[in-house]
């Protein structure tokens, strides 16, 4: 993939994450097709995608469709669906992939690439995604903070050789679209770092209907955040991912200060009466903790409360 030209790009899952990154790529001139739900597709086809960002506030002309077949012919597929749809999406996507096409998972959780491989034989790169975005209406994505990516190959580790050239080319493509992107040799550790943040904030934001700034300003909530972080890091370490607890605690608290207007995707799902990704977040930590003999009472409580909330919204 030459970075001087844009490859055809398909964004599978035109929610907040997919619309933000797809919109930024399309704004830079990339030929992007968004695959999403009818309400968003209709609005984007009629008026363009409205990106209301920190620096960008404009309507962006971009192709959109409800049909997965419209993604055929793309050379880069950004998978931005909810983790609950990972296997179904992989199965639908596999027959459409041209030779040498690349798949990049921009999803929460740590095991999406493995699940795509098992479900449909798809080999995907992974990204740790740091963006505060939400859909403010049909075809309208509101971006309030960050937007950077860390990408890598989940089949490699920190002890392997330098990252593949194709990953460096992918990073160059994103950077060209004003999307800060770096390559790591140990994406699994980066995914766990992101999972720690998701477990720390997502459920609390949903249960309290609170944005991150409000959470982190409360002394009692800061203590709760720390305890969730400690449990999740303990499970990561038991799974062979050596995270630094002090660093994760510091990053977690700073996140709320840096992204005060962020509302977790779990909170957004609950507000819309949709199924959340909590099974891939705190739920994943609970299940893995049980297998590895690590107690996770705080994660368990948050997980079960969100599952109960799902039933009544």
pLDDT per residue as tens, the chain (313 positions): 445 689 999 999 999 999 999 999 999 999 999 999 999 999 999 999 999 988 889 999 999 999 999 998 899 999 999 999 999 999 999 999 998 899 999 999 999 999 999 999 999 999 999 999 999 999 999 999 899 999 999 987 655 554 578 899 999 999 999 999 999 999 999 999 999 999 999 999 999 999 999 999 999 999 999 999 999 999 999 999 999 999 999 999 999 998 898 899 999 999 999 999 999 999 999 999 999 999 999 999 999 999 999 987 6
C-alpha span between 89 and 119 (Å, rounded): 9
Q: What's CA 291's distance to the chain center, in Å?
A: 25
- E-state strands within the chain: 9-12, 32-35, 49-52, 57-60, 63-65, 76-79, 102-105, 125-137, 140-152, 181-183
The pTM of the full predicted model, rounded to 2 decimals, is 0.93
Fold category of 9-185 in CATH:
Rossmann fold (3.40.50)
C-alpha span between 165 and 181 (Å, rounded): 14
Q: Minimal CA–CA distance to 87: which of 118, 108, 109?
A: 118
What integer pLDDT is reported at residue 157 of this predicted model?
Answer: 64
Q: Minimal CA–CA distance to 264: which of 204, 188, 182?
A: 204
- Cα-Cα end-to-end distance for the chain: 45
CATH 1.10.1040.10 given to domain 189-308 = yes
What integer pLDDT is reported at residue 159 of this predicted model?
Answer: 54
Domain range summary for the chain, segments of one domain joined by +: 9-185, 189-308
Token look-up 């989940």 returns 154
Residue 129 forms beta bridges with which residues? 149
In order, the DSSP letters of 143-197 are EEEEEEEEEE-TT--TTS-SPPHHHHHHHHHHHHTT--EEE-S-HHHHHHHHHHH
Strand, coil or helix: what is 93?
Answer: helix
């Amino acid at each position: 993939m030459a970075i001087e030209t844009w490859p055809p790009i398909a964004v599978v899952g035109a929610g907040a994450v997919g619309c933000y990154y797809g919109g930024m790529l399309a704004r830079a001139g990339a030929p992007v097709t968004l695959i999403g739900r009818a309400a968003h597709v209709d609005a984007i086809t009629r008026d363009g995608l409205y990106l209301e960002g920190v620096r960008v506030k404009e309507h962006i002309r971009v192709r959109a469709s409800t049909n997965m077949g419209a993604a055929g012919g793309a050379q880069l597929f950004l998978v931005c669906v909810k983790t609950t749809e990972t296997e179904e999406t992989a199965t639908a996507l596999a027959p459409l992939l041209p030779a040498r096409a690349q798949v990049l998972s921009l999803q929460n959780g740590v095991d999406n690439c493995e699940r795509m491989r098992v479900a449909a034989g798809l080999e995907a790169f992974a990204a740790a995604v740091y963006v505060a975005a939400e859909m403010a209406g049909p075809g309208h994505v509101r971006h309030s903070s960050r937007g950077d990516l860390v990408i890598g190959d989940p089949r490699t580790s920190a002890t392997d050789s330098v990252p593949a050239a194709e990953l460096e080319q992918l990073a160059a493509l994103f950077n060209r679209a004003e999307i800060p992107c770096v390559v790591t040799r140990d994406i699994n550790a980066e995914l766990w770092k992101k999972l720690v943040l998701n477990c720390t904030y997502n459920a609390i934001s949903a249960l309290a209907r609170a944005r991150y700034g409000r959470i982190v300003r409360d002394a009692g909530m800061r203590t709760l955040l720390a305890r969730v972080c400690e449990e999740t890091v303990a499970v990561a370490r038991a799974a062979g991912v050596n995270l630094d607890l002090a660093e994760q605690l510091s990053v977690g608290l700073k996140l709320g200060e840096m992204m005060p207007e962020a509302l977790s995707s779990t909170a957004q799902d609950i507000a819309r009466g949709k199924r959340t990704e909590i099974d891939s977040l705190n739920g994943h930590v609970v299940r893995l903790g049980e297998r590895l003999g690590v107690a996770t009472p705080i994660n368990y409580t948050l997980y079960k409360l969100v599952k109960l909330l799902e039933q009544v919204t």
